[in-house]
Amino acid sequence: MADRRWTLVAPVYDPAVALVGWHRWQDALLVDVTHGIVLDLGCGPAHLAKGLLARGVDYVGLDRNPAMVARAGRAMDAWGPGHGLVVRADVTSLPFPAASFDVVVATGVLGLLAVPARRLVLHEMVRVSRGEVRLLEPIGRLDAPARAVRSRVIALVRDRPVALDELVEAGLDAEVRGPALLVGVYSMVRAMKR
**Rg for the chain (alpha carbons), in Å?**
15
Name the strands in the sheet holding 101-107, side by side, starting at the edge strand that comes first in the sequence. 84-88, 58-63, 37-41, 101-107, 129-138, 186-193, 172-181
Strand runs (DSSP E) across the chain, as ranges?
37-41, 58-63, 84-88, 101-107, 129-138, 172-181, 186-193
Q: pLDDT per position in the chain (194 positions), as tens?
A: 456 655 555 555 565 555 556 778 889 999 999 999 999 999 988 989 999 999 999 999 999 988 889 888 887 777 767 799 999 999 999 999 999 999 999 998 998 888 999 999 999 999 999 999 999 988 876 555 555 444 444 444 555 789 899 999 999 999 998 777 766 678 889 999 99
Strand partners, 173: 192
Strand runs (DSSP E) across 23-108, as ranges?
37-41, 58-63, 84-88, 101-107
Element (H, E) at 19: helix 13-19
Note the helical H segments in 38-88. Answer: 47-54, 66-76
Strand partners, 129: 101
For the chain, which domains are there?
A: 2-193 (3.40.50.150)
